[in-house]
Amino acid sequence: MTSLELMTEEIQVWVASLDVSDSRYDALARTLPADEKNRAASLSPVAARRFVVARGILRSLLAGFTGTSAQKLQFDYGRSGKPLLVNHDEIHFNISHSADLGLFAFAPDRPVGVDVENERPVRRLLDVAHRFMSDEELRSLAETPPEERNSAFLRSWVVREARLKAEGRGVWDGSAKDTADSKLTHKLFAPRPNYIAAVAAPESGWRLYTCAIKG
């Protein structure tokens, strides 16, 4: 087990491909408990494989931070489904994945939210925006030139998702149009070409470090 360390006023975001070899997949799958394997079994084959890989990577990283074996880590879940680590209040984390890319965010001293999206055309973009975005976000989107609107929407989306997840809320729980906590700050970044991501956390005095997982 590799030992990992978090510093105060620091958020680490680990970036990993979810497209792994069969041997790597098998090793990650062995770290999952029965309930997570059952959840994977309810998904489509592609989604199930990515779920297993993402949860396995998450457990591996948390094992490095906590010193507890990946198999023994236990999760609880908030009202919007955000996972929490049982018996380890010293670490906050959040995950997100889009297509074959996964992001894993960790902080020792504050809640954290992360979101990533593959830069792709958004179907019925304005309909989605009217359903979920605030009036201010809608005005900004309407003022954006049409050829730039898709990218602007995705940037706004990942920021909104990251901020809601940092608060323990979700875009589908009926609170998405609410104004996010003004004490939250966020940072946008590109974890890989053709992807856009955001990480959010309370207060402004934190640094973002990104780390790539190979293999």
Q: Give the pLDDT score at 177.
A: 56
Q: Is 39 exposed, middle or buried (0-12, 13-18, 19+ CB in 10 A)?
A: middle
CA torsion sign for 116, 120, 124, 127 is: positive
Q: What is the mean pLDDT of residues 180-184?
A: 71
With a CB cutoff of 8 Å and minimum separation 6, the contacts of 88 are 62, 66, 68, 73
Tens of pLDDT, residues 66-107: 999 999 999 998 877 888 899 998 899 999 999 999 999 999
Count of Cβ atoms closer than 10 Å to residue 27 Cβ: 13
Least confident of 9-23, 49-63, 101-115, 167-181: 167-181
CA dist 55 and 76 (Å) reads 14
Q: Give the pLDDT score at 90.
A: 87
- Position 50 pLDDT exceeds 80: yes
194 and 207 Cβ atoms separated by less than 8 Å? no
> Taking Cα atoms as reference points, which of 212, 180, 84 lies closest to residue 157?
180
SS3 sequence, 36-99?
HHHHHHCCCHHHHHHHHHHHHHHHHHHHHHHCCCHHHCCEEECCCCCEEECCCCCCEEEEEEEC
Whether the full predicted model's pTM is greater than 0.85, yes or no, is yes
Half-sphere exposure of 64 (CA within 13 A, CB side): 12
CA dist 107 and 61 (Å) reads 12
Q: Residue 1 to residues 54, 67, 161, 168: CA-CA distances in angstroms?
A: 18, 8, 32, 30
CA dist 169 and 48 (Å) reads 24
pLDDT band for 171, please (50, 70, 90 cuts).
Answer: low
CA dist 76 and 97 (Å) reads 20
Q: Average per-residue pLDDT in the chain?
A: 91
